[in-house]
Amino acid sequence: MHRKAFLLSLVVVGGAVWASPAAAQPRAVTSSVVKLQVVSDPPNLMAPWQTEGVSLFGGSGVIIEGKRILTNAHVVESAVSIEVKRADGRASFPAKVVFISHDADLALVEVDDEEFFEAVHPIPLGKMPKLQQGVVVYGFPVGGNTLSITSGIVSRVEVDTYAQSYRDLLSVQIDAAINEGNSGGPVMTNGALVGIAMQGLKNADNVGYMIPPPVIQHFLEDVKDGRYDGFPHLGVALQNMESEAQRRGARMKPEETGALVLRVDYGGPSYGVLRPRDVILAIDGHEVANDLSVGWEGIGRVDLAVAYQSKQIGDEVDLTILRSGNRVQKRITLKAHTPLVPGRRRTEWPRYVQFGGLVFQPLSEQLIDDADAGYSDAVSFAEVNNLVTRARREIILLGQVLPHPVNRGYQEWGGEVIRLVNGIVPRDLDHLAAILDAAKGPWVRFVSGDGYVITLDLEAARRANREILLDYGIVEDRYLGPGTSDGRRDRSRRSER
């Protein structure tokens, strides 16, 4: 589904030595480089009613305008305690997360104590770096308490997969080694912030990635209203038009280029505006090439996603499309939209429903990764059916079966897609819970994606629920997300703002 990149609990960048801007500003910069000490207690996706246990690790950040610390989301997610210390300071201060973007692997952290900001020089956000431009990376190597300052160059700019969210966003590759060091460390040029160190690529030498200024700026603009909305999707699947026969079949003129619309998500931004077989010729005046790229100022040719990801949720985007050989202008209002199989859970706590020992969860790429590729059938199903429709807004997975006499015969199951519950397609996890709550008759039947059937005695399963919860130390039989009104335990301390 995506290239395998690894997140960095710590970041250190080493590269060629050159006449770099490193000598220009270490004293001013170091007052704003921050070391984070984080205690986290993340939820356990494979047992979503409990956590994985407390762990301690370090990260880096940078002080920007507004007395805020910018760092990686993966540094501070699931944090129960954060202590921060300036690179030029002697004391640590308690801090808290105020905004987090798993999409962009960014977070804003605040410190209430004004003493922390004395004689600080906030780092301004710079422009998009160019290819072969020299950069300086600040961070704390493994086992070190003193600041490390290293150099590298920009080797590639493209839309690439962020390991934290599995979202494809604008990314900058640094032609230097990024090993375990301080995640969230600032990448600088001439005293300005041009990136946040993010991740490395597995089985590759001297390949590291940083989050570039356009993505950082999008995040900062997004949260100005006190709420994080995220990066927009178009809600379509696209195919390149590099085949001459494909272009002629779409009645394109020889000089026209574009992207073929294969499908449109139900309820997404493009629903009711675009249709399958439309060809997107331009986005906000940027001509779409047959290889699904656009020309972008300061970058060059890059994936067309940049043309709409540069917008905020609620903004409009103008499309020039070819429909049945006719040029048509369409306007789309970008709104929040989640793919059928998202890369990252929407809340800090995983949602689940437990019934008769059967544990149901919405499928995500993160869950697939955590299951160590044990969900091959679900992955295949998702690849073919990753489309939001009126009938299906999530793929529901039977994650595991908690053994109990009521579910005898199915205790080795796990990883199956649930296609039907009592003959009804569960459109999402909330709907599955409602189907079970309203079920009548002697049986409840679950049909998997490949047609296998689980039949339970309905009333016996309901009676067994309390015993199963006690046997496995589970407080609730379900968690459907923050703000639910089903009397479930409040988990708001971990929810995103």
Give the Cα separation of 136 and 256 in Å (integer). Answer: 42
Give the Cα separation of 393 and 407 in Å (integer). Answer: 28
* Residue type for position 38: V
pLDDT per position as a tens digit, 365-408: 878 777 665 666 666 666 666 678 888 889 999 999 999 999 99
Q: Is 244 exposed, middle or buried (0-12, 13-18, 19+ CB in 10 A)?
A: exposed
- Predicted confidence at residue 494, as pLDDT, reads 28
* Residue type for position 4: K
Give the Cα separation of 408 and 402 in Å (integer). Answer: 10
192, two tokens: 């300005």
Q: Which of 175-189, 218-232, 252-266, 294-308 has the lowest mean pLDDT?
A: 175-189
- Predicted confidence at residue 333, as pLDDT, reads 97
Of residues 478 and 484, the one with the higher pLDDT is 478
Q: Is the pLDDT of residue 427 over 90?
A: yes
Backbone angles phi, psi at 429, to 5 degrees: -65, -40
Q: What are residue 100's DSSP bridge partners?
A: 107
Give the Cα separation of 184 and 105 in Å (integer). Answer: 9
* 183 tagged catalytic: yes
- Predicted confidence at residue 341, as pLDDT, reads 82
Average pLDDT over residues 14-32: 52
Could you tell me the pTM of the whole model? Answer: 0.88
- Predicted confidence at residue 384, as pLDDT, reads 63
pLDDT category at 471 given cuts 50, 70, 90 is very high
Give the Cα separation of 67 and 120 in Å (integer). Answer: 9
Q: Is the pLDDT of residue 347 over 60?
A: no
- Predicted confidence at residue 486, as pLDDT, reads 45
pLDDT category at 146 given cuts 50, 70, 90 is confident
Average pLDDT over residues 107-129: 95
Average pLDDT over residues 82-86: 95
The class level of CATH for 5-225 reads: mainly beta
Of residues 171 and 206, the one with the higher pLDDT is 171
Catalytic residue among 32, 101, 103, 105: 105
**Superfamily holding 236-333:** PDZ domain (2.30.42.10)
Question: What is the residue-averaged pLDDT of the chain?
Answer: 87
Tokens 């990686």: give the residue: 72
* 74 tagged catalytic: yes
Q: Where do runs of H (alpha helix) occur along 181-303?
A: 213-222, 244-249
**Domain boundary assignment for the chain:** 5-225, 236-333, 352-494
Q: How many CA atoms lie within 13 A of 262 on its CB side?
A: 10
Q: What are residue 355's DSSP bridge partners?
A: 358
Q: Is the pLDDT of residue 38 over 80?
A: yes
pLDDT category at 147 given cuts 50, 70, 90 is confident
> Which residues contact residue 125 at a Cβ distance below 8 angstroms, ignoring those fewer than 6 apart?
64, 192, 193, 213, 216, 217, 220
Of residues 7 and 292, the one with the higher pLDDT is 292
Which of the four CATH numbers 3.30.1330.60, 3.40.50.300, 2.60.120.700, 3.20.190.20 does domain 352-494 have?
3.20.190.20
pLDDT category at 490 given cuts 50, 70, 90 is very low
How many other CB atoms are found less than 10 A from the CB of residue 490?
A: 7
Domain 5-225 and domain 236-333 have a common topology: no
Among 11-20, 349-358, 483-492, top mean pLDDT goes to 349-358
pLDDT per position as a tens digit, 282-318: 999 999 999 999 999 989 999 999 999 999 999 999 9
Catalytic residue among 40, 74, 101, 448: 74
Catalytic residue among 9, 32, 40, 183: 183
* Residue type for position 425: V
Give the Cα separation of 149 and 471 in Å (integer). Answer: 53
182, two tokens: 């301080």
